[in-house]
């Protein structure tokens, strides 16, 4: 049985509505998933929401509703947004589901039975307002805990701990032997340095007296699971993991088939959550090294160099942007204006600028001019004529460099290659000047040759752009009157029959007009 390409994203907290950062990550995963489907691979794309925890409990209390009701509304907002943005996932994770709870509890019970989880007492300064223990890092320059912590008291609390540090040497060796465990490289270095500093074990519980919006520990009903054993486990619970199977090889074949996954996360949750806790959790329950996931760590969208945040009031709502400028405009901007792994600055002006320049002017014009000329000069019937087109050789290079970029998850680079070819096609129109050829009956063959090459180029462009702009690709192929059932292998010269009737031109990317 062939391997499945398993791709996941972080699951989004349902304590506030989705913003452009969430949308970026999901569109990035969707584009990679679509690219692999285009290659003909079997793909399993999992995303979803993170519904438990303190933040949600607090937000629900503030809103005056029960947590279950609170997360229902926000979960729907995330789902609606992914639908609107054409994020096409195969499975949806909700951490309050029974399916998830069974896996979390099964996994915890196993680790507990194996002696990898123990109970211990913690004592220290505790902020009643923030409901957390404080460390020296939280002290101000004067050595005191600032007013933001409210009342601070000395407390003793019992909790459960996972023996994280006993796996430290394994993780160091694993990272040394797998140079591409984390992409980009500099993130792997960052993780390696953090692993060197692992000191203690991981607290995995909260007493119910303090937090009850969570999954109960299977071996102690007075406690719930705290954050990571709940959230991270979604990646296996919604991929058909069987917690009762004692070894990886005894897992259902559908599950084994899916690992290792490609996991897309933001830079803030690499250390310690995914890079340390998650990889160690998988190793601790018996995942062999070959099944440990690869982490693709993306950067953040900022606003004028600063973080987007509710309190600053600068959060960008992707749904509003899509209504205002179109889904394709939002997807194009998010994929073209950031290099995977790096940060970028979000700006609506820039979105408009890139849309107008690259889509309305460059690609939109190429499509419109080609179709209009074909209709005007040939009633839409394009014919193969003359020898090889100079565009044919360019397509070979284009497909090669596009594939290299997409395989490396460098979507912006893939789009740049396509954009370069679109520009070359527009230049080709200027050079060939079909309007002049049309006036000279002796040059009828040259006109056919030109129009056919342009239609063929657009067909290839549509296929290559389809993971990023699925609606636009559909629109181009519809106007070319070419099948919508295609694969990456169709992105080569010679796909159109030697005589082909094109459809009618319809503007695909109307310019965004601004008042200035």
Give 47 or 426: the residue with its C-beta nearer to ligand MSP.
47
Q: Which one of residues 217, 231, 398, 399 is an interface residue with ligand MSP (CB under 6 A)?
A: 231
Residue 50 interacts with ligand MSP (CB under 6 A)? yes
Asked if residues 78 and 51 have their Cβ atoms less than 8 Å apart, the reply is no
Closest CA to 370 of 455, 473, 251, 248: 455
- Pick the stretch among 17-25, 135-143, 363-371, 427-435 that binds ligand MSP (CB under 6 A): 17-25
Min CB(234)–ligand MSP separation in Å: 6
CA–CA distance, 33 with 36 (Å, rounded to integer): 5
Closest of 262, 234, 259, 239 to residue 249, by C-alpha: 259
Question: What is d(CA 244, CA 218) in angstroms, rounded to the nearest whole number?
Answer: 14
In whole angstroms, how close is the CB of 457 to ligand MSP at the nearest point?
34
- For ligand MSP, which is the closer residue by CB, 5 or 24? 24
Does residue 268 interact with ligand MSP by CB under 6 A? yes
DSSP SS3 for 251: coil
- Considering the rule CB under 6 A, would residue 204 count as an interface residue with ligand MSP? no
Residue (of 123, 193, 108, 110) closest to 158 by Cα position: 123
In the complex, the smallest distance separating the C-beta of residue 14 from ligand MSP, rounded to whole angstroms, is 8
- Shorter beta-carbon distance to ligand MSP: residue 126 or 300: 300
Taking the least distance from each CB to ligand MSP, the nearer of 233 and 450 is 233
Q: Which stretch binds ligand MSP (CB under 6 A): 5-13, 31-39, 401-409, 482-490?
A: 5-13
Residue 151 exposed, middle or buried by CB count within 10 Å (0-12, 13-18, 19+): exposed
* CB of residue 303 to ligand MSP, shortest distance in Å: 9
Single out the residue of 67, 106, 184, 266 in contact with ligand MSP (rule: CB under 6 A): 266
Total chain residues near ligand MSP (CB under 6 A): 18
- State whether the Cα torsion 480-485-491-497 is positive or negative: negative
User: Which has the closest alpha carbon to 411: 19, 25, 89?
Assistant: 25
Residue with tokens 């009342």: 151
Q: How far is the CB of 56 from ligand MSP (least distance, A)?
A: 10
Q: Report, in Å, the least distance between residue 16 CB and ligand MSP.
A: 8
Q: Does 216 bind ligand MSP (CB under 6 A)?
A: no
Rounded to the nearest whole angstrom, what is the least distance from the CB of residue 301 to ligand MSP in the complex? 4
Q: Distance (Å, rounded) from C-alpha 84 to C-alpha 472?
A: 15
- By CB under 6 A, is residue 206 in contact with ligand MSP? no
| Closer CB to ligand MSP, 10 or 465, in the complex | 10
φ and ψ at residue 309, rounded to 5 degrees:
-155, 150
Evaluated on CA atoms 19, 24, 26, 31, the torsion sign reads positive
Binding-residue pattern over the window 284 to 303 for ligand MSP, x denoting contact by CB under 6 A: ----------------xx--
Of the candidate residues 6, 24, 44, 277, the single one contacting ligand MSP (CB under 6 A): 24
Q: How does strand 12-13 pair with strand 42-50?
A: parallel
C-alpha–C-alpha distance, residues 74 and 94, integer Å = 12
- Site pattern 451..490 for ligand MSP (x: CB under 6 A): ----------------------------------------
Q: What is the bridge-based pairing of β-strands 220-225 and 216-217?
A: antiparallel
Distance CA 426, CA 463 (A): 18
Task: Kindly tell me which residue out of 134, 245, 308, 385 binds ligand MSP, with binding defined by CB under 6 A.
Answer: 308
User: Is residue 37 helix, strand or coil?
Assistant: helix
Pair type for strands 301-302 and 202-203? unpaired
DSSP 290: G
Nearest to 303 by CA among 292, 312, 314: 314
Which is closer to ligand MSP, CB of 307 or CB of 436?
A: 307
- Other beta carbons within 10 angstroms of residue 434's beta carbon come to 22
Among 5, 6, 7, 11, binds ligand MSP (CB under 6 A): 11
Nearer to ligand MSP among residue 11 and residue 391 (C-beta): 11
Site for ligand MSP in 173-202 (CB under 6 A): none
Between CA 309 and CA 21 the distance in angstroms is 11
User: Of the ranges 36-44, 116-124, 266-274, 350-358, which one interacts with ligand MSP (CB under 6 A)?
Assistant: 266-274
Q: Among residues 7, 10, 103, 104, which is the contact residue for ligand MSP, using CB under 6 A?
A: 10
Judged by CB under 6 A, does residue 12 bind ligand MSP? Answer: yes
Q: Is 230 in the site for ligand MSP (CB under 6 A)?
A: no
**d(C-alpha 21, C-alpha 338), whole Å:** 12
Q: Which residues bind ligand MSP (CB under 6 A)?
A: 10-13, 21-22, 24-25, 50, 231-232, 265-266, 268-269, 300-301, 308
């Amino acid at each position: 049985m062939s391997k499945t390409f398993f791709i996941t994203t972080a699951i989004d907290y349902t304590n506030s509505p989705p913003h452009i950062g969430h949308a970026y990550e999901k569109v990035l995963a969707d584009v990679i998933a679509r690219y692999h489907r285009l290659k003909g691979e079997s793909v399993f794309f999992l995303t979803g929401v993170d519904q438990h925890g303190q933040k949600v409990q607090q937000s629900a209390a503030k809103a005056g509703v029960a947590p279950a009701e609170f997360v229902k509304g926000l979960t729907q907002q995330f789902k609606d947004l992914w639908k609107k943005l054409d994020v096409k996932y195969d499975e949806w994770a909700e951490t309050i589901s029974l399916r998830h709870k069974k896996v979390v509890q099964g996994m915890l019970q196993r680790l507990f039975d194996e002696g990898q989880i123990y109970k211990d007492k913690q004592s220290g300064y505790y902020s009643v307002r923030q409901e957390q223990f404080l460390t020296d890092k939280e002290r101000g320059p004067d050595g005191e805990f600032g007013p933001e912590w409210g009342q601070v008291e000395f407390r003793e609390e019992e909790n459960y701990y996972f023996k994280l540090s006993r796996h430290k040497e394994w993780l160091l060796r694993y990272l040394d032997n797998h140079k591409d465990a984390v992409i980009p490289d500099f993130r792997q270095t960052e993780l390696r340095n953090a692993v060197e500093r692992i000191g203690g074990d991981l607290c995995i519980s909260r007493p119910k007296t303090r937090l009850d919006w969570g999954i109960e520990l299977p071996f102690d009903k007075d406690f719930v699971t705290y954050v990571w054993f709940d959230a991270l486990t979604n990646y296996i619970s919604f991929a058909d993991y069987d917690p009762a199977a004692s070894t990886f090889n005894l897992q259902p074949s559908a599950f084994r088939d899916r690992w290792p996954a490609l996991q897309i996360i933001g830079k803030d949750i690499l250390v310690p959550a995914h890079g340390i806790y998650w990889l160690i959790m998988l190793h601790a329950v018996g995942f062999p090294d070959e099944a440990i996931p690869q982490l693709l760590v993306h950067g953040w969208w900022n606003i004028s160099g600063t973080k987007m945040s509710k309190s600053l009031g600068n959060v960008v709502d992707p749904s509003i942007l899509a209504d205002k400028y179109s889904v394709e405009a939002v997807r194009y901007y998010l994929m073209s204006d950031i290099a995977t792994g790096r940060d970028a600055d979000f700006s609506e002006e820039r979105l408009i600028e890139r849309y107008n320049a690259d889509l309305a002017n460059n690609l939109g014009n190429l499509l419109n001019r080609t179709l209009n000329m074909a209709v005007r000069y040939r009633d839409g019937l394009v014919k193969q004529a003359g020898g090889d087109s100079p565009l044919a050789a360019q397509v070979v290079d284009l497909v090669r460099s596009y594939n290299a970029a997409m395989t490396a998850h460098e979507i912006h680079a893939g789009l740049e290659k396509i954009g370069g070819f679109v520009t070359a096609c527009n230049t080709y129109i200027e050079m060939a000047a079909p309007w002049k050829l049309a006036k000279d009956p002796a040059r009828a063959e040259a006109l056919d040759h030109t129009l056919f090459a342009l239609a063929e180029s657009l067909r290839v462009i549509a296929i290559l752009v389809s993971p990023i702009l699925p609606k636009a690709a559909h629109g181009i192929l519809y106007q070319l009157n070419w099948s919508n059932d295609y694969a990456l292998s169709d992105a080569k010269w010679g796909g159109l029959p030697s005589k082909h009737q094109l459809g009618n031109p319809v503007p695909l990317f109307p310019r965004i007009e601004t008042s200035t």
